[in-house]
Structure 1
Amino acid sequence: MQQYSDEEEASKTYVVYFDSGSSTVSEETAVDLKYIAQVLIDNPSVELIVEGHTDSQGGFQDNIVLGQARATAIRNCLVEQGVLLGQVQVVSYADLYPAQLGEDEIADKRNRRAVIEFQGLRG
């Protein structure tokens, strides 16, 4: 999991990368998500939006489904750790908002992601 370092809301936005065609949360990511889960458990008024994104491979409808599956996998991992279901919203953007333009391996890797954004977190 990568924390954004070049944005004003750096402490409130995280990115999780996925393998091609996969919505599986890696063991390493699951460990990192424990910290996010604890913040949510300690602050029940705080919510997350998890955006699912894909590379441009495949059809748009398939990418919408895959983006949704990625966001949902993050939410499910958090809920399994005690986060309230209502604290986590999911949305799929498929390949509509690429992190990196292009259709090469480097761009594809950066675009296969879920973006986790805190809503209502102070400090």
Structure 2
Amino acid sequence: MRQFLTYLVLISVVLTLGGCNFGPVKSDAEAEEEMADGRDAEVSQEDEDQRFSGDLGGGARMEELNDPDSPLSTRVIYFDFDSSRITDEQREVIDAHADFLSRNPDVEVVLEGHTDERGTREYNLALGERRAQSVEQLLQVQGVSAEQIEVISFGEERPAAMGHDESAWRLNRRVEILYSGL
């Protein structure tokens, strides 16, 4: 019995340690430097680009998404200051994406919510999430399956434009629609 308990404890320890990440721990300064350099500790932009722009099925679906005359070529939804309300103009773009996703149930999207630099980190993460959820809700109302949509908020952490004025801020208040699974 004692030998059994010893093995049981040993197995528990191995399983517990197996789930731990023993990589180097970064200081706050190192993490901030990486963010300033545009690097992400977990997912590089190159990895993310490859994930969402790999072979998108060739054929008509890829052409449809990249046709500059199609609203599907617009994959960034912009928002007013401190708002998650979708404008009528943006609604037309989202309607086109909803139609495309409904016709292609094997295609998935990631909705990345972003904000400008104003506000606390926590507030901006919440606002970015509300923005992405606004787009998600509109897609679902139009028949897109919840399994096709993933919502992520980066808050102010991944600005599209650097700067401390309205011209930069308006470009950072956005939801990006990233396709995968084509």
The aligned runs of 1:49-64 (5 Å cut-off) are 49-64=110-125
CA deviation after TM superposition for structure 1 residue 96, in Å: 0.4
Larger relative CO (CA 8 A, sep 6+): 1 or 2? Answer: 1
% identical aligned pairs = 39
Aligned to 2:7: none
The aligned runs of 1:69-84 (5 Å cut-off) are 69-84=130-145
Aligned to 1:111: 172
Q: 1:13-71, CA deviations, whole angstroms, 9 ceiling, x for partnerless residues?
A: 71010000000111121122111111111110100000000000010000000000000
Distance 1:13 1:27, change over 3 A: closer
Aligned to 1:96: 157
CA deviation after TM superposition for structure 1 residue 120, in Å: 1.6
Please give the TM-score of this superposition, normalised by the length of structure 1.
Answer: 0.87
User: Between Structure 1 and Structure 2, whose CA radius of gyration is higher?
Assistant: 2
- Secondary structure class of the residue paired with 1:48: strand
1:14 aligns with one of 75, 92, 106 = 75
Confirm or deny: 8 A CA contact 2:74 2:93 kept in the other structure: no
Confirm or deny: 8 A CA contact 2:110 2:179 kept in the other structure: yes
Residue 68, structure 1, aligned to residue 125, structure 2: no
Aligned to 2:106: 45
Query: C-alpha distance in 1, partners of 2:74/2:157?
Result: 19
Supply the AA of the counterpart residue of 1:38: D
Please give the TM-score of this superposition, normalised by the length of structure 2.
Answer: 0.60
Residue 28, structure 1, aligned to residue 89, structure 2: yes
Q: Which runs of 5+ in 2 are unaligned?
A: 1-48, 54-64, 67-72
Query: C-alpha distance in 2, partners of 1:64/1:13?
Result: 23
Greater strand proportion: 1
**RMSD, aligned α-carbons:** 1.9
